[in-house]
Copies of this chain bind each other. A is one copy, B any other.
Amino acid sequence: MVGGGQLARMTHQAAISLGQSLRVLSESPDDSAALVAADVRIGTHTDLAALREFAKGCEALTFDHEHVPTAHIEALEAEGVKVFPGSKALVFAQDKGLMRERLTSAPTPRWRRVTDVSDISDFAAETGWPVIAKATRGGYDGKGVWVLDDAAAAAELVATGTPLIVEEKVRLKRELAALVARSPFGQVAAYPVVETVQKDGICVEVLAPAPGLPEDLAVRAQQLAIDLANELGVVGLLAVELFETDEGIFVNELAMRPHNSGHWTIEGARTSQFEQHLRAVLDYPMGETSLTAPAVVMANVLGGEPGGISIDERLHHLFAEDPGARVHLYGKQVRPGRKIGHVTVLGDDMTKVRARAARAARWLQEGK
């Protein structure tokens, strides 16, 4: 797996059960996955020579993030490396412009490529201000996304030279995510559709299954994700981030890797997204995706302000307070706003489960 973040860390945990050991290409020995995996190579994902060396002897190559240059992936494929998802699919998760051009049959918000500031103004004249500008590549966790209130803000952003698209600000009821996995053989498994709760562009909570989601809408969202996985030829996980609106569901973003909206599956689904991704990439049949409890909530733990009691002491308090909370810490240095772990709570009643998860995350985040 290229990239040594928490996704690789949790994928390694899953690999161990399958009798495997994940090889990780990590930028630093202190990276989340590098701290726990047996087979770590230090190198940068933008360095083709490092990628080439890394791939030697691997059964298949996959990714912890979208930031490997498409040309590098194509070069590896040309040399016979099995890359999953392949460049032809992955590019649609890497480039928001290409993704929207490709998704002609799926419902997306109105959008336009930006080459000049007038593209934004003209677009806003149709949809009204504010509009959403997005960097076509490299964004994550709210980075690379801007809410533009007027032409002056648009001009300032365009002046930075960042390749952009502009998108209407959808009047959304909430955000959903549909997670599927597809094997090279073409078998697709779909997880229950979840609600994702964002704060400042960062996912803070995932509710599984999405509370009160009408069955027909859930099936439509799953079918949409299945169709996309098939159409794009995805191998591995595909997370489709969705907007739920009064007019139905719209595709927001795609990710082709284990995804924050699927962390709940470690305890909350019969097969975790991390094992599922490995099963797909290694061409095994897909695992069961059913829920293990009626209500599952995952809450991200973000780094809090410096000071206060240590993470270790916080964990102490949390375990004493809620012996059933499932904790996942990523071994990362705490920085304000950085994802340093997550907590999952399972139960029968979504309201209670959600309150417990929020409380558990707060304990780890704020120490109180």
A-side residues, CB < 8 A to B, are 9-10, 12-13, 15-21, 34-38, 40, 189, 270-271, 279, 284-288, 290, 292-293, 311, 315-316, 319-320, 323-324, 326-331, 341, 346
Closest chain-B Cβ to A269's Cβ sits at a distance in Å of 11
Bound-state Cα–Cα, A264 to B295, Å = 22
* Contact A316 to B19, CB < 8 A, known contacts A40-B38, A270-B324, A271-B323: no
Contact of A35 among B10, B21, B316, B326 (CB under 8 A): B21
Does the CB pair B13–A288 fall under 8 Å?
no
Enumerate chain B residues within 8 angstroms of A37, measured Cβ to Cβ. Answer: 36, 38
Query: Taking the nearest CB of chain B, how far is it from the CB of A344, in angstroms?
Result: 10
A279 to B325 alpha-carbon distance, docked (Å): 13
Q: Is the CB of B12 within 8 A of A285?
A: no
Would A327 and B17 be within 8 Å (CB), given that A285-B319, A287-B319, A292-B292 are in contact?
A: yes
27 interchain pairs, CB-CB under 8 A:
A9-B16, A10-B16, A12-B16, A12-B36, A13-B16, A17-B328, A18-B315, A18-B327, A19-B311, A19-B330, A19-B331, A19-B341, A21-B35, A21-B36, A21-B331, A36-B37, A38-B38, A38-B40, A270-B346, A284-B315, A285-B316, A285-B320, A286-B319, A287-B323, A288-B323, A288-B324, A292-B292
Asked if residues A19 and B284 are in contact (CB atoms below 8 Å), the reply is no
Give this chain's copy count.
Answer: 2
Separation of A341 and B336 alpha carbons in the complex (Å): 42
- Note all chain B residues with C-beta closer than 8 A to A35: 21, 38
Cα distance A31–B197 when bound, in Å?
43
What B residues does A271 contact at CB under 8 A? 323-324
Instruction: State the CA gap A287–B189 with chains docked (Å).
Output: 32
Bound-complex Cα distance A135 to B199 (A): 62
Q: Complex: how many Å from CA A326 to CA B276?
A: 12
Nearest CB of B to A343, in Å: 11
- Inside 8 A of A284's CB, which chain B residues have their CB? 315-316, 319
Give A80 Cβ to nearest chain B Cβ, in Å: 20
Question: Which residues from B are CB-within-8-Å of A292?
Answer: 292-293, 346
Task: Please measure, in the bound complex, the distance between the C-alpha atom of A286 and the C-alpha atom of B293, giving whole angstroms.
Answer: 22
Task: Give chain B residues whose Cβ lies under 8 Å from the Cβ of A285.
Answer: 316, 319-320, 323
Q: How far is the CA of A86 from the CA of B36 in the complex (A)?
A: 27
The chain B residue sitting closest to A318, CB to CB, is B285
Assembly CA distance A217 to B326 (angstroms): 30
Chain B residues in 8 Å Cβ range of A293: 292
> Which residues on B sit within 8 Å (CB–CB) of A328?
17
Cross-interface CB contact of A19 among B13, B16, B21, B329, cutoff 8 Å: B329
CB contacts (< 8 Å) of A16 on chain B: these are 9-10, 12-13, 36
